[in-house]
Amino acid sequence: MFFREVINEDLGCVSYVVADGSEAAVVDPKWEIEEYLGMAEENGFGIAHILETHNHADHVSGRGRLAAAAGARIHAPAEAQAAYEHEPLREGDEIRVGDVRITALATPGHRPEHLSFLARDGSRSGEAWMLLSGDFLFVGDLARPDLAVEAEEGARGIFRSLRKLEGLGDFVELWPAHIGGSLCGGAAMSRKPSSTLGFERRFNPHLQVGDEEKFVRNIAAELPPQPPNFERIVELNRGPLLTEAAPPRALTPQRVEELLRGGAVLIDGRDQREFDGAHVPGSINVTTNQSGVGTRAAWVVPPDAEILTTAGGDEKARGMVRMLEAVGFRRIRGYLAGGVAAWRAAGLEVKTTPALDVSGLARLLERKEASLLDVRSVEEWREGHVEGSIHLPYQELRDGIPEKLRGAERPLAVACSGGVRSALAASLLERAGVEGIMHVADGGVPDLERFGVRLTR
């Protein structure tokens, strides 16, 4: 048996290629399909089957593109309400790839239609060897229960689905559809891509809870923010099939300027320090130096917006096009060829954002020469914040700019924990016309204690 994981590092999503002999199946394919096609060519097999565990809520599936490119048959959960040609799968249904049998196991909870897949290699044993668990069971964590139904209902579904695993051996390998960093699980989700059922039974705290009511309370209690645009992404994944990607068109500065005047949004993927030094007026800084590009953009940019990209080189700008398509942006017009350097060479206006480090921020706060806008999460805020600072998680800027941020008497220093989220927030504030913005580009709020600023907990 041939088995490979394919990780989308930007979103923390994982798909799988299972092959034997001349045929292969791809489970939960990502939007960018080139890696699957290259793997098939290199190893001499054809992609005959595409399997989906559920309608994903955090990324757009590449099933349509892969089926068109490889001539593969799509298999989706019978309850997925899929509006595309497919073979419906129910519990017990089986797909064969050479000596490998892949059997569907109904594991609702994360979503009502959710399936997991048990893989058996007949050349080794008739027993299940691997559980491809989709968004049901993760390494160190469990699925979030609130993306299709009320959290309590979803949690009860997950509890009952876990009971179905009791007959499987401890040696069965666990291969989930996400690693740490994805919004489809919680903070306990490991960045390790695999485990075994035996290890999770012993060390995953959720699997230690045998009482249903306590289990439901535990996993429904504190949930992270729902993935941005998740309802739109689910609908895109229901179909019709998306079979083509947007061509990453190279655009001149003059054409980009024209599109911006018409309401398009330019997303700049450069390092935040480069962005602070010079950027196109109104552009939004979503650096590609840190994963989660698509997710951060989706938090703050309307899903139906016309999108343009630029980055630290045209290749990176083209890569951003695919990252943004993967989270549901469908109106991507192209990228600024030559980047901000070409924009400046064309004689077009650039803007700068005053930047400072943590020591500079501490001095300003001590002298009361600046107000602090803290754009970290609620959990981070509770762990320590500056008394009197304004707290507004950067995601909430999508809903508009609060009046208290406009016309302030003192400059507004925008900070997070490291400079990435604060850069995005500062660019949004500038785009909205808020004046007196400064960006804390190196370090963040937790570092202030080293410079004598007391944090309240």
Give me the domain span that covers residue 402.
355-456
Does 196 lie in the same domain as 88? yes
What is the Cα 156 distance to its own chain's centre? Answer: 25
350 within some domain:
no
Q: What is the CATH number of the domain that holds 148?
A: 3.60.15.10
* Whether residue 137 is found in the same domain as residue 93: yes
Among 419, 276, 413, residue whose Cα is nearest residue 353 = 276
Residues 234 and 322 placed together within one structural domain of the fold = no
Given a contact cutoff of 8 angstroms between Cβ atoms, the answer to whether 448 and 422 are in contact is: no
411 and 433 in a single domain? The answer is yes
Number of structural domains the chain divides into: 3
Q: Inter-axis angle of helices 293-300 and 314-325, to 10 degrees?
A: 70
Task: Provide the strand spans (E) within 55-111.
Answer: 73-77, 87-89, 94-97, 100-106
| Model pLDDT for residues 84-136, shown as the tens digit of each residue | 999 999 999 999 999 999 999 999 999 999 999 999 999 999 999 999 999 99
> Could you tell me which residues come within 8 angstroms of residue 107 by beta carbon, excluding any fewer than 6 positions away?
114, 115, 116, 133, 134, 136, 137, 161, 164
Residue 256 has pLDDT above 80, yes or no: yes
- In this structure, the answer to whether residues 166 and 102 fall within a common structural domain is yes
Beta pairing, strands 141-142 & 137-138: antiparallel
77 in the same domain as 198 = yes
**Angle, CA 436 vertex, CA 431 and CA 438 arms, to 5°:** 85
Q: Do 148 and 282 have their domain in common? A: no
Tokens of 86: 């497919």
In a domain, 31, yes or no: yes
Q: Is residue 243 part of a domain?
A: no
pLDDT of residue 139: 95
Answer positive or negative: Cα dihedral of 326, 329, 332, 336.
negative
- Assess if residue 135 is contained within a domain: yes
Q: Which of 291, 313, 345 is the last residue of a domain?
A: 345
> What Å distances lie between residue 2 and 30, 173, 197, CA to CA?
19, 15, 21
User: What's the pLDDT score for residue 110?
Assistant: 94
Q: Using one digit for the tens of pLDDT, what is the confidence trace for 191-207?
A: 889 999 999 999 999 99
- Shared domain for 157 and 30, answered yes or no, is yes
Model pTM score: 0.92
Same domain, 397 and 340: no
pLDDT band at 189 (very low <50, low <70, confident <90, very high): confident
20 & 96 share domain? yes
Over the stretch 306-320, which tens digit does the pLDDT of each residue have? 999 999 999 999 999
Residue 143 lies in a domain: yes
Cα dist from 185 to 58, 176, 442, whole Å = 11, 11, 29
Whether residue 329 is predicted with pLDDT greater than 90 in this model: the reply is yes
pLDDT in tens, 124-161: 999 999 999 999 999 999 989 998 899 999 999 999 99
Predicted local confidence at residue 185, as pLDDT: 63
Task: Report residue 343 CA to chain centroid gap.
Answer: 30
Which residue among 289, 323, 345 closes a domain?
345
Q: Please tell me whether residues 114 and 263 are part of one structural domain.
A: no
Q: Which two tokens stand for residue 226?
A: 């729902």
Comparing CA positions, the residue from 76, 82, 71, 81 lying closest to residue 243 is 71
